[in-house]
Amino acid sequence: MFEMSKLILQRVSFDKKLFRKELLKALKWLKPKEKTLLYVWCLANFGMYRDVVLDVFRHTVTKS
């Protein structure tokens, strides 16, 4: 699921809203360790959406 999430995020990275939506969906399916890996990967690969990545992970961590 982790690799699929990365692939989907790469494909939707042209649109900020779609990226956010798919990131939220990905986090519902991933295990805690995979979420950490995805967080690091997103920050490394999608610096232009840093605000989205930080916001999504901040809210999902507090809810979990």
Per-residue pLDDT 10s for the chain (64 aa) are: 999 999 999 999 999 999 999 999 999 999 999 999 999 999 999 999 999 999 999 988 655 5
* Angle formed by the axes of helices 32-45 and 50-63, nearest 10°: 170
Where would I find the H helices in 1-64?
2-11, 16-29, 32-45, 50-63
Residue appearing with tokens 């967080």: 39
Contact 56, 27 (CB under 8 A): yes
Q: Which pTM value belongs to this model?
A: 0.90
CA 32 – CA 9 distance, rounded (Å): 18
